[in-house]
Amino acid sequence: MRAEFDGVTALRDVSLSIDEGEFFTLVGPSGCGKTTMLRSIAGLTDEAEGRVAIDGRDVTSAPPEARNVGMVFQNYALFPHMSVHENVAYGLRFHDLDGRTDDERVAELLDLVDLAGVADRSPEQLSGGQQQRIALARALAPEPDVLLLDEPLSALDARLRKRLRVQIKTIQQELDITTVYVTHDQAEALALSDRVAVMQDGRVEQVAAPESVYRNPASRFVAEFVGDNNLFDGTVTDDGAGVAVDGAALPLPAGSDRRPSESVTLAVRPEVIEIDDGAASADTTLAATVETVEFLGDAYRVHCRWRGRRIECKSTASAPPAGEVTLGFDADDAQVL
Ligand SMILES: Nc1ncnc2c1ncn2[C@@H]1O[C@H](COP(=O)(O)OP(=O)(O)OP(=O)(O)O)[C@@H](O)[C@H]1O
Ligand SMILES: [Mg+2]
């Protein structure tokens, strides 16, 4: 898929294949092309060039209503002058229910999103979270083959986002519906998805299961965008076994297979770095100074400085570390980019 708007390239040769029943997420920073990709699947972008097939059926030239996709948009898109019931029933306008009445189907859907009691209300009498659940019910009404969700939770507060994302996942699993979810929130993407496509600047940088994206990021961008990471840029030492960073040699993971003097980035997650006691047995130790400590509830985030550079670690000790500390990690817990 390619898309260009008056000289702005929104998608550069993006090719994705999504499995039946999969929860697939497009994640990336603002402007990277997520909405354009979703709208291309739905047939809502004239500027998109490429081919879309759903369930083996080529729908490239089919209008949106013939593609059998349901979509929930970023901003609440309920019709304000219609009741909840009418909003959900609107989703049925092109749909043949074989036997069931619209009323039965609407009741079924309101049950599904756990809002059976609000059918006669108008959207303005609902909270933001309830409105998005109604928007979801409306999108699901015609029994679409594919559900497209464009940042459905972005207007909600953090607590509600977490609660609703579990509900979306539960409904997705219950219906076993192929879902493409868009978010700029990497934590949300990791929490919900079977697979994640990390996008940047109209391109897909990596497509993989959340665990692989987190543990084996394919690029520097992915390593920085997904989760927290410490990145050490340097050059491979003459013996090929380490990377020279600010006058120190940090060992490379076994089997890295890098040439001497090649430029590489070593990525080390905060949670694999031990502080003081645990650091003694690690194969890489660094003498650092604690600068700031944040209490996270179940752990401390410890911001240190080592040779002029910041290093972020996580400590689950009962009291936070302070002053001069030894940081340690095993080379095999780091990734080379
Ligand atoms: N209708 C349009 N006209 C002109 N430019 C557009 C249009 N739609 C998108 N673009 C441009 O295409 C690029 C990708 O936009 P898109 O909306 O797909 O990004 P996004 O990843 O969804 O961002 P966000 O997270 O902010 O919603 C941006 O540079 C945007 O300005
Ligand atoms: Mg968008």
How many A from CA of 83 to the centre of ligand 2?
27
Q: Which amino acid is at 70?
A: G
User: DSSP string of 258-326?
Assistant: --TT-EEEEEE-GGG-EEGGGGGGSSEEEEEEEEEEEE-SSSEEEEEEETTEEEEEEE-SSS---SEEE
Atom of ligand 1 nearest to the CA of 184: 25
Please report how many Cα atoms fall inside a 13 Å half-sphere around the Cα of residue 91, on the Cβ side. 28
Angle between helical axes of 158-175 and 128-140 (0-180°, round to 10): 20
How many A from CA of 29 to the centre of ligand 2?
9
Q: Which residue has the tokens 């019910």?
A: 137
Answer yes or no: pTM beyond 0.95.
no
Domain 2-223: give its CATH code.
3.40.50.300
Q: What residues does CATH 3.40.50.300 cover in the chain?
A: 2-223
Q: pLDDT truncated to tens, each residue of the chain (337 aa)?
A: 999 998 899 999 999 999 999 999 999 999 999 999 999 999 999 889 999 999 999 999 999 989 999 999 887 679 999 999 999 999 888 777 778 888 999 999 999 999 999 999 999 999 989 999 999 999 999 999 999 999 999 888 888 999 999 999 999 999 999 999 999 999 999 999 999 999 999 999 999 999 999 999 999 999 999 999 999 999 999 998 999 998 899 999 998 889 999 999 999 999 999 999 888 889 999 999 999 999 999 999 999 999 999 999 999 999 999 999 999 999 999 999 9
Please report how many Cα atoms fall inside a 13 Å half-sphere around the Cα of residue 93, on the Cβ side. 9
Atom of ligand 1 nearest to the CA of 11: 14
Q: What residues does CATH 2.40.50.140 cover in the chain?
A: 228-331
CATH architecture designation of domain 228-331: Beta Barrel (2.40)
Distance between first and last Cα of the chain: 27
Q: Which amino acid is at 20?
A: E
8 Å CB contact between 98 and 153: no
Sheet holding 195-200, edge to edge: 69-72, 146-150, 178-183, 23-27, 195-200, 203-208
